[in-house]
Structure 1
Amino acid sequence: MRQPWRVAVVGGGITGLAAAVRLRDRAPAGTEITVYEQSGALGGKLRTGELAGQAVEFGAESFLMRDPAGAESAAVRLVRRLGLADAIVHPTVGQAALAVDGGLRPVPGGTLVGVPGDLAKVAAVATPDADADRDDGRPLLGPDEDVAVGALVRDRLGDQVVDRLVDPMLGGVYAGRADGLSLVTTMPALARAARVEHTLVGAVWAAQAAAPRAPGAPVFGTLVGGLSTLVEAAATASGATIRRDAAVRDLRRTATGWALTIGPTRDPELVEADAVLLAVPARPAARLLGGPAPAVATAVGGLDYASVALVTMALPEPELPELSGFLVPATEGLLIKASTFFTTKWGHLRRADGLALVRASVGRYGDETSLQLTDDDLVATVHRELSKVLGGPLPAPVASHVQRWGGALPQYAPGHLDRVAAARTALRAAHPTLVLAGAGYDGVGIPVCVRSGETAAEEIITALGGSGS
């Protein structure tokens, strides 16, 4: 393989940037890394903006501090690598609520993404069908089985646990419904336990015991100044050439590597690379794979996505409960599916003037007609529904912002990880210097995306001939 290597990273979200940093750290000195981002901004769904003079997240809000095994998450490790560890802050209010029967009730403890490990603790929110979760003398799942989360929980604990607990929890993360989301992809720890345990409550206990958390240890973190500081630091540390407004329209195999067609049809630019890392959503990835790997393109392109809108309002001295926010079951009939009280949840954002930043999420998979409302109508509807849930009129916002994320959240049907593994195996066999990374394949959340990008970078290093370190 020629030296120095030329690696093209398609996609300037946190996955692509984490991959670029890993390439810089592990590839031979002099490796040429170029990140192609079709928009004018890096970071993907990490976007820190400003409202009423305050930095606020218009995309992802925080990252998990620990991975499923209890070690530091990939996001925290990247933060440390970039010299930002001193900027990590944690929520000062952690208690969230559920909007049920027109009022707010605390999210019960002892659950795993809403699936209870102690049926008594969820009684104030839902009535489980305890008799259904009996020991039938065999594990809940077979060795290679995957099911929809909703199907398993409805069968073992009844509809109300799904509708009032599990569905809003999953909806807050994926904007999807429990009845359509893969257990193995969205709740891997529970899936592993379900291959051994005979009851769902027992599986929850086993999954929690397998990844114990120290009492009082923070679950989430963010950065003072916002998550865009992570994006900027990663871009700098990668030493990559950053190409913004550079859409990759075509990808072709050459005798020595890859040819990428960049930019508009009327004035295309052709660039060459030894390896290509696709860190873009599944559908644009499928379009680029259509030439070199059509079967993989078909498999990848079948992944569906949900669209959401985030409505943020600056409210003058509102009366808010001492909560981090609340989740809304779809059965409540509200447009909003979740709300975060930013200036309550994050102590470093609290203001002396009493101005509060409140954000609500709108849009569920399969029911996105609400997103056709204008920005003004979305703000008005969210304001009205928040007032209703909180039991009194909120003050009129002094500023607001609507961030629309079209096709933002992947929907992982049962069997997703097996389909992705098969697609990657086929791609690796045919084109080892062409790899896939990102939320569309490996799961949502900043740590998962960081790890996905880093893993893809290591695959490229191996394919090109090994590390320079």
Structure 2
Amino acid sequence: MPLPAVSTGPHVAVVGGGVAGLVAALDVLDAVPSATVTVLEGSDRVGGTLRREDVGGHAVDVGAESLLAVRPEAVALVERLGAGDLLTSPDTTSASIWSRGALHPLPRATLMGVPTDPDGARGVLTDDEVERVRDEQPWPTGVLEDDVSVGEYVATRLGGAVVDRLVEPLLGGVYAGHAARLSLRATMPTLWDRATRGQSLLTPAGAATAAPGRPPFAGLTGGVGRLPDLLAAALAGRGAVLRTRSVVRLLERTADGWRLVIGSAASPDVLVADAVVLAVPPAPAARLLAAHAPAAAEVLADVETASTAVVTLAVPRAELEDVGGSGFLVPPVEGRAIKAATFSFRKWGWTGALDPDVVHLRASLGRAREEAVLQREDADLVALAVADVCAALRRTPFRVVDAHVQRWGGGLPQYAVGHVDAVATVKADVERVPGLEVAGATYDGVGVPAVIGSAARAAAATTQFLSTLAPRPGDQPA
């Protein structure tokens, strides 16, 4: 039977309790304080891929651990939540690439791995490969008109080694995907712009900067995984209802709104709402949209996702005291199990200060269509992570005080060739349905700031829709 209404104001149901859903809920309540907002999350906690867990007696990030500060949304959100004092900057961003059996400094003058100074890539690339980069070739048709894969375009112009040794590890870190399948237009808009103008890829892009005095990346003291808690507290303070273990099984249109069926067929709950924001991965979004925006559902059903895992290790400080830098990336061509390692105790001052005897580091595994490694037991993933990190550092395996394996199933949508046009189709089809919006990492970027921006747009559209509804007795003006 329908759940009882808790207010006479409009009711908005947000499906999905990741960052997108939580931010959309908060934005709606800020704009329409009289609204009731219910967030429905299928798992046992909100936050999506932002999460902290206890490793070696200390809470550390086991999901995303940094925020891109060159986009303002994430930093602005933290400050808006009254937690600006938690913002912190990396102690070091000096990363390396593990290539041909050695660690080489990541060239600084690159754009997602594409070097603007060929000589700066020497070491990661051989002398012959550097010369191939310098001998930049035109695209066969001169100006690019249709979307292509990053791998095809960059290899044609600068050589395959740039893709294999530089672009792949960067893309793997952000998208957990492969250059041969990822869209140039969607994942490298700056290069796409140059390609459509017939310009050189070696032109310096200019330094991307955050707010004055702030580095390009930011974190939170105590972990980025604190952000969902901050959002949940803000929502609770505004009267929002957050329900976990609440999978929305069916979304139905009614004469004056929406009916959401939650839970099992045997004992379902029913929630009635005026508007709905779908902030879930592409597969469940496609399922819920099928009856209302079939073109959008068809597109979303075809969006591939990648599964990954993060192995977090607590290790005796004495064994890694001499290690410097923030970590290293691993090109797929190296054939290693891990795709990156982060020396969290060096990168983040708060992490390094957690324990006088133990330090924390992490390794990530998993790329699209390469889930076989993730089918291993947790203990095997820990052993793989230790073996690869120690091989890169050229030392015998260190002792593990504690370890945690966090698996992210289908956590990263793949921005395949044609993704921008596909998203435009989704948005146009959903826009035809009053009171229905979509948000999340599938649409305009996978990073936290991009997801926040997506949520803000969905909330603004929802707020606009609510303003068209006839007022009810007891409604208060926003």
Regarding TM over 0.5, the answer is yes
Give the aligned partner of residue 229 of structure 2. Answer: 232
Give the aligned partner of residue 53 of structure 1. Answer: 57
Matched position secondary structure for 1:208: coil
| Runs of 5+ unmatched residues, structure 2 | 1-6, 470-476
Matched position secondary structure for 2:27: helix
Give the aligned partner of residue 37 of structure 2. Answer: 33
Deviations 1:395-446 (A, max 9, x none): 21010111111111111111101111112111212x1211110001222111
Contact 2:311 2:404 in 1 (8 A): yes
Contact 1:140 1:199 in 2 (8 A): no
Deviations 1:153-201 (A, max 9, x none): 1011101110000001100111111111111211222222332242211
Residue 399 of structure 2 is aligned to residue 396 of structure 1: yes
Residue 20 of structure 2 is aligned to residue 4 of structure 1: no
Deviations 1:178-226 (A, max 9, x none): 1111112112222223322422113xx2x436x5668974111111122
Contact 1:437 1:453 in 2 (8 A): yes
- Give the superposition deviation at 1:236: 2.3
C-alpha spacing 1:23/1:214, structure 2 compared with 1 (3 Å): closer
- How many pairs does the alignment contain? 455
What amino acid does structure 1 have at the position aligned with 2:171?
A: L
- Give the superposition deviation at 1:139: 6.0
Matched position secondary structure for 1:225: coil
What amino acid does structure 1 have at the position aligned with 2:70?
A: R
Give the aligned partner of residue 370 of structure 1. Answer: 373
Over aligned residues, Cα RMSD in angstroms? Answer: 2.0
Give the aligned partner of residue 459 of structure 1. Answer: 461
Identify the match of residue 64 of structure 1 among 52, 65, 68: 68
What amino acid does structure 1 have at the position aligned with 2:348?
A: W
Matched position secondary structure for 1:7: strand
Identify the match of residue 447 of structure 1 among 440, 446, 449: 449
Matched position secondary structure for 1:12: coil
Give the aligned partner of residue 109 of structure 2. Answer: 110
Matched position secondary structure for 2:233: helix
Residue 430 of structure 2 is aligned to residue 427 of structure 1: yes
C-alpha spacing 1:81/1:131, structure 2 compared with 1 (3 Å): closer
Alignment identity in percent?
44
- Give the superposition deviation at 1:295: 2.6
Contact 2:169 2:329 in 1 (8 A): yes
What amino acid does structure 1 have at the position aligned with 2:216?
A: V
For 2:211 and 2:77, the matched residues in 1 are separated by 22
For 1:91 and 1:131, the matched residues in 2 are separated by 33
C-alpha spacing 1:164/1:285, structure 2 compared with 1 (3 Å): same
C-alpha spacing 1:136/1:392, structure 2 compared with 1 (3 Å): closer
What amino acid does structure 2 have at the position aligned with 1:406?
A: G
C-alpha spacing 1:343/1:78, structure 2 compared with 1 (3 Å): same
Contact 1:110 1:117 in 2 (8 A): yes
Matched position secondary structure for 1:264: coil
C-alpha spacing 1:420/1:380, structure 2 compared with 1 (3 Å): same
Contact 1:258 1:272 in 2 (8 A): yes
For 2:69 and 2:346, the matched residues in 1 are separated by 20
For 2:378 and 2:140, the matched residues in 1 are separated by 54
For 1:215 and 1:123, the matched residues in 2 are separated by 32
Contact 1:318 1:356 in 2 (8 A): no
Residue 84 of structure 2 is aligned to residue 79 of structure 1: no
Deviations 1:333-364 (A, max 9, x none): 11000000111111111145241211001112
Alignment of 1:259-270 (within 5 A): 259-270=259-270
What amino acid does structure 2 have at the position aligned with 1:51?
A: V
Matched position secondary structure for 1:201: coil
Give the aligned partner of residue 338 of structure 1. Answer: 340
Contact 1:139 1:198 in 2 (8 A): no
For 1:216 and 1:452, the matched residues in 2 are separated by 27
For 2:219 and 2:370, the matched residues in 1 are separated by 30
C-alpha spacing 1:34/1:136, structure 2 compared with 1 (3 Å): closer
- Give the superposition deviation at 1:136: 7.3
Give the aligned partner of residue 70 of structure 1. Answer: none
Give the aligned partner of residue 186 of structure 2. Answer: 185
C-alpha spacing 1:466/1:186, structure 2 compared with 1 (3 Å): farther
- Give the superposition deviation at 1:318: 1.9
- Give the superposition deviation at 1:382: 1.4
Contact 1:140 1:200 in 2 (8 A): no
Alignment of 1:281-296 (within 5 A): 281-296=281-296
What amino acid does structure 2 have at the position aligned with 1:293?
A: A
TM-score (norm 1): 0.93
Contact 2:50 2:224 in 1 (8 A): yes
C-alpha spacing 1:131/1:384, structure 2 compared with 1 (3 Å): closer
Give the aligned partner of residue 328 of structure 1. Answer: 330
Matched position secondary structure for 2:197: coil
What amino acid does structure 2 have at the position aligned with 1:383?
A: V
For 1:53 and 1:288, the matched residues in 2 are separated by 41
Residue 255 of structure 2 is aligned to residue 250 of structure 1: no
C-alpha spacing 1:32/1:150, structure 2 compared with 1 (3 Å): same
Contact 2:63 2:225 in 1 (8 A): no
Contact 2:137 2:158 in 1 (8 A): no
Give the aligned partner of residue 97 of structure 1. Answer: 96
- Give the superposition deviation at 1:40: 1.2
- Give the superposition deviation at 1:134: 4.1
Give the aligned partner of residue 220 of structure 1. Answer: 217
What amino acid does structure 2 have at the position aligned with 1:180?
A: R
TM-score (norm 2): 0.91
What amino acid does structure 2 have at the position aligned with 1:233?
A: L
C-alpha spacing 1:97/1:309, structure 2 compared with 1 (3 Å): same
Give the aligned partner of residue 273 of structure 1. Answer: 273
What amino acid does structure 1 have at the position aligned with 2:22?
A: L
- Give the superposition deviation at 1:131: 5.8
What amino acid does structure 1 have at the position aligned with 2:169?
A: P
What amino acid does structure 2 have at the position aligned with 1:236?
A: A
For 1:464 and 1:3, the matched residues in 2 are separated by 13
- Give the superposition deviation at 1:135: 5.6
Contact 1:134 1:199 in 2 (8 A): no
What amino acid does structure 2 have at the position aligned with 1:66?
A: V
For 1:110 and 1:287, the matched residues in 2 are separated by 43
The 4+ residue runs of structure 1 with deviation greater than 3 A are 134-140, 211-217, 466-469
C-alpha spacing 1:413/1:348, structure 2 compared with 1 (3 Å): same
| Runs of 5+ unmatched residues, structure 1 | 68-72
- Give the superposition deviation at 1:299: 1.2
